[in-house]
Structure 1
Amino acid sequence: MTFTLMIVFGTLVGGYVIASLLLFKFPNIIHARKRIKFKCRHISHRGGAGENYENTIVAFRRAVEAGTDMLELDCHLTKDGYVVVSHDHNLLRSTGVDCNISQINFKDLPLLKTELPLDFDPDYTFIGSGREEERRFVLLQEVFHNFPQVPINIDIKVDSDILIQKVCELIVQYRREEYTVWGNFSDSVTKKCYKVNPQVNLLFSMKRVVHLLILLYTGLLPFFPLKETHLEIFLPSIYLSRRRNNPSAAYLPLHTVLVRTMDALLMKKCLFEHLTKRGIHTYLWVLNYEDEFKKAFELGATGVMTDYPSKLKKFLKDNPQYQ
């Protein structure tokens, strides 16, 4: 009896493994490929924070002129209810004024500083022309109006039902459901986005990334449907390489272990290829150097998010195999 059970169990396990491997290689046997209307190799982070004042109309315009495929931006709600494009909720870093966007009317927002450090290139500070028209905050509505055909990636920065609803209304007003991606690391925010409008392309939240990895390493991923359309994750190894280039960087040993673990678990070409076959796009952020661009595309990433649109554009031109 025991021997028979072992044979049955072995047969079931073997069948499961074979089915998992087969469907991982050919997921469209049971999953219809998602029909996303665009493909983006070149994504400008905050409009290209290394070449223009971040999240401004000038940055977005110049990134589009440089040939970017997608604009990435962040949204907050002002005191008088306008959806404004800004990464930070507090204005101290970007303007020098210690005030939250939610506490001030849109018309009273201060100008950006003439010099802005880059979050993902900490040794560099962007220094622009200083002209006022280049340093003003912009409304999401203005971005939609000026770039009707450009895919836009929106990070909903705070868990606000009003903000999510207003962003949704603008997406619908400008008929951008198929050319917009939205969500946040927060699972709560991303779930609300999906509930409000499931027709808009959706990001994986951090919680869903963890679920994705559990499904991958248990062999269950090929059997599960995924509502998300875009996986946006950072390339962990770049932080280790930047540490080597900058020994004074404040990395704790535990931090290094975590980064190495994330790199080993997440950066799997087989995972990216599987998602691609299911029509899900994978973007790696925020990459600012040629070796990082090369590694991302060799891993099978659909696109790269950068602070330097011109630099990434040149890389793609010089390396047509990655276009």
Structure 2
Amino acid sequence: MVYIVIMVFFSILGGYLLTSVFFFRFPNLIHRRKQLKFRCRHISHRGGAGENYENTISAFQHALEVGTDMLELDCHLTKDAQVVVSHDGNLLRSTGLDCNISQLDYKDIPLLKPELSLDFDPGKTFVGSGKPEDRRFALLEEVFKKFPKVPINIDIKVDNDLLIKKVSNLIKKYNREEYTVWGNFNDVVTKKCYAENPQVNLLFSMRQVVYLVLLTYSGLLPFVPIKETNLEIFLPSIYLRKKTNPSAGFLPFHSFLARTVDCLLIKKFIFEHLNKRGIQIYFWVLNDEEEFRTAFELGASGVMTDYPTRLKNFLTENPQYQ
């Protein structure tokens, strides 16, 4: 009797595994492929922080002239409820003023410093023209007006219901649902974004990334619908390599976490499955040719960089990755 039970158990398990592997390879037999209106091969981080003043109109314009597919930017809410484009909530690093954006009206936000450090290129500083018009903080509405059909990746930086609603209203006002991706690593923020406007393309939160890994190794991934459209992740091998240099502060993640992500998630077979389901995968923030090559060979849909010209030249010189 025990022998029969064991045989039945392994027969069922074998059947499940074979079915899972089959649908993992052919997911469109179950799921309709997501049809995004854009392709994000070349993404400019903060508009290209290594080539222009980050998150400014001049940066976005320059990136588009280079040929970027997508602009990445970050949003905060001012005291007078304006959606301003800025990565930092506090203005000390970017302007020298130790004050939060939420404490100031938009008109009172100072200009960016003439020189700005690069978060993802340790030890490097962008030195620009110094012109006041190039150093002005942009409003999200201004960006939408100037670049109406350009795909934009929006990181909602804080858990603020009014900020999420304001951004959603702007997306609706300029009919940008199909050309915008939004969310945050914070699952609470990302869920609120989806609840506010489920028509907008959605990023994976960190919690959903963990869920993705669990689904993959349990064999359930092929059978589970996914509402997210864009997987934006860091490349752990880059972080681990740079950690060998004690003076290089790169990402605020513990080495154990990075090694775990590298081992479980950064797998070409996972990315191939997601690509078949129409989910785009891009790595942030990569800034040299070796990193670009690693990402594309893993099957990434795109790369986010501080150096739009550098990535454009790489893609031109390596057409196999275009």
Coarse TM-score class (shorter-chain normalised) = over 0.9
Would the alpha carbon gap of residues 129 and 172 (structure 1) be closer, same or farther in structure 2, given more than 3 Å must change?
A: same
**Paired position in structure 2 for 1:144:** 144
Deviation sequence 1:114-164 (CA, Å, 0-9, x none):
111000001211111111000000000010011111100000000011000
Deviation at 1:261, TM superposition (A): 2.2
Query: Which amino acid letter does the alignment assign opposite residue 218 of structure 1?
Result: S
Deviation sequence 1:255-289 (CA, Å, 0-9, x none):
33332222111210000000000000001000000
Q: Distance in 2 between matches of 1:250 and 1:310?
A: 24
Matches within 5 A, 1:207-246: 207-244=207-244, 246=245
Unaligned runs of 5+ in 1: none
Query: Which amino acid letter does the alignment assign opposite residue 65 of structure 1?
Result: E
Q: Distance in 2 between matches of 1:311 and 1:101?
A: 32
Deviation at 1:52, TM superposition (A): 0.3
**Paired position in structure 2 for 1:92:** 92
Tell me the SS of whatever aligns to 1:185: coil
Tell me the SS of whatever aligns to 1:121: coil
Deviation at 1:242, TM superposition (A): 2.2
Deviation at 1:250, TM superposition (A): 6.0
**Paired position in structure 2 for 1:131:** 131
| 8 Å contact kept, 2:122–2:248 | no
The answer to whether structure 1 residue 166 and structure 2 residue 166 are counterparts is yes
Deviation sequence 1:28-69 (CA, Å, 0-9, x none):
111110111111100000000000000000000000010000
TM-score, structure 2 length as denominator? Answer: 0.97
Q: Distance in 1 between matches of 2:248 and 2:107?
A: 39
**Paired position in structure 1 for 2:261:** 262
**Paired position in structure 1 for 2:101:** 101
**Paired position in structure 1 for 2:62:** 62
TM-score, structure 1 length as denominator? Answer: 0.97
Tell me the SS of whatever aligns to 2:243: helix
**Paired position in structure 2 for 1:272:** 271
Tell me the SS of whatever aligns to 1:138: coil
**Paired position in structure 2 for 1:13:** 13
Query: Which amino acid letter does the alignment assign opposite residue 13 of structure 2?
Result: V
Deviation sequence 1:281-307 (CA, Å, 0-9, x none):
001000000000000000000000000
Would the alpha carbon gap of residues 250 and 36 (structure 1) be closer, same or farther in structure 2, given more than 3 Å must change?
A: closer
**Paired position in structure 1 for 2:285:** 286
RMSD of equivalent CA atoms? 1.3
Deviation at 1:190, TM superposition (A): 0.4
**Paired position in structure 2 for 1:40:** 40
Q: Distance in 1 between matches of 2:200 and 2:247?
A: 43
The answer to whether structure 1 residue 306 and structure 2 residue 316 are counterparts is no
Q: Distance in 2 between matches of 1:199 and 1:39?
A: 18
Query: Comparing 76-85 with 234-243, which one deviates more in the overlay?
Result: 234-243
Q: Distance in 2 between matches of 1:259 and 1:210?
A: 13
The answer to whether structure 1 residue 118 and structure 2 residue 123 are counterparts is no
**Paired position in structure 1 for 2:177:** 177
Deviation at 1:211, TM superposition (A): 0.4
Deviation at 1:4, TM superposition (A): 1.4
Deviation sequence 1:236-262 (CA, Å, 0-9, x none):
111122234x343469xx933332222
Q: Distance in 1 between matches of 2:170 and 2:306?
A: 26
Unaligned runs of 5+ in 2: none
Q: Distance in 1 between matches of 2:111 and 2:103?
A: 16
Query: Which amino acid letter does the alignment assign opposite residue 278 of structure 1?
Result: R
Amino-acid identity (%) = 69
Q: Distance in 2 between matches of 1:240 and 1:290?
A: 17
Q: Distance in 2 between matches of 1:276 and 1:248?
A: 37
The answer to whether structure 1 residue 318 and structure 2 residue 311 are counterparts is no
Q: Distance in 2 between matches of 1:142 and 1:131?
A: 19
Tell me the SS of whatever aligns to 1:36: coil
Query: Which amino acid letter does the alignment assign opposite residue 306 of structure 1?
Result: T
**Paired position in structure 2 for 1:193:** 193
Q: Distance in 2 between matches of 1:153 and 1:31?
A: 25
Query: Which amino acid letter does the alignment assign opposite residue 105 of structure 1?
Result: D
* Corresponding residue pairs, total: 321
